[in-house]
Amino acid sequence: MIEVESYLSENNFKNFKINEPLSNHTTFQVGGIARFVVTPETKKQLISLVEYLKLKNMPFKVIGNGSNLLPSDKIYEGIIIKTNQALNYLEVKDREVIVGAGYSLVKLAYDMIQYELEGLEFIGGIPGTIGGAVFMNAGAYNKEMKDVVKEILLINHKGEFLTYHKEDLQYAYRKSILQYEKPLLIIEAKLKLKKGSSEIIRNLLEKRRKRRINTQPLKFPSGGSTFRNPIGTHAYLLIDKAGLRGYQMGGAKISEKHCNFIINVEKAKSKDVKDLVEYTIEKVYQVTGVKLQPEIEFFNWD
């Protein structure tokens, strides 16, 4: 790891931390220590770092806001790379939007008001970044990223720059080919939107914001929706039917306000959250016969 620190210093990386708690970089506010957390300032710096680590065969993980991530409580003997500065760019040409993978989904939804472009209202309440949304085909209100993505630019595991068109991504509910091929880095996405009314877009975003405040436990750290909705029903209904509303393990609790949210109420450990996820899956299956699938990504547990 001394070699990594030397590389970062010699290449003018100003924003990196050594032995940094991942609880500072996940919306669950949990996670063990990472040997390095690096936030490159430019796209060039970011790409160079990824290529260097790949060449040296050093473990690393690229993240955005950490909104869908559950790292374990143990030390991660690798480098966490944050994209929310280097890939935080936006370019709008007529109805096409080119946006960096580190760009905030909520900000992007509201940015479209000034451009009078509709189609991204559904991401207005998702606390993640474009990279994560493209990776998992994020969605809400019966809309998904597959409805707006035209193509994406990435670096694959061989270190090659590739453009994936929409059909290449093999999108399905909360799934894409990226989850199986696992690229080194998603750089940007090109989106195709429709002309709309700024007033209508703004009103819809505001209406949904108020609804979230009334129905979701936004005052507590969480990873957003914990489980995918099974075909024909909603995960929160099954969790409620299993009698788990308000159920708590350690510092992690199933929200009484919305039972598809596991929230950090008392300085939870990652293990508390994981144990509660696994217990919920087991209990719901016993009661309903449906096996829930988590939306969150488990990291550094093996």
Determine the Cα–Cα distance for residues 278 and 274; give it in Å rounded to an integer: 6
Catalytic residue among 72, 104, 222, 225: 225
Is 104 tagged catalytic?
A: no
Tokens encoding 131: 């990279």
Determine the Cα–Cα distance for residues 61 and 69; give it in Å rounded to an integer: 11
Residue 246, number of CB atoms within 10 A of its CB: 11
Is 209 tagged catalytic?
A: no
Is 151 tagged catalytic?
A: no
Catalytic residue among 20, 118, 188, 295: 295
Determine the Cα–Cα distance for residues 29 and 162; give it in Å rounded to an integer: 34
Catalytic residue among 95, 174, 228, 245: 174
Instruction: Give me the active site residues, please.
Output: 174, 225, 295
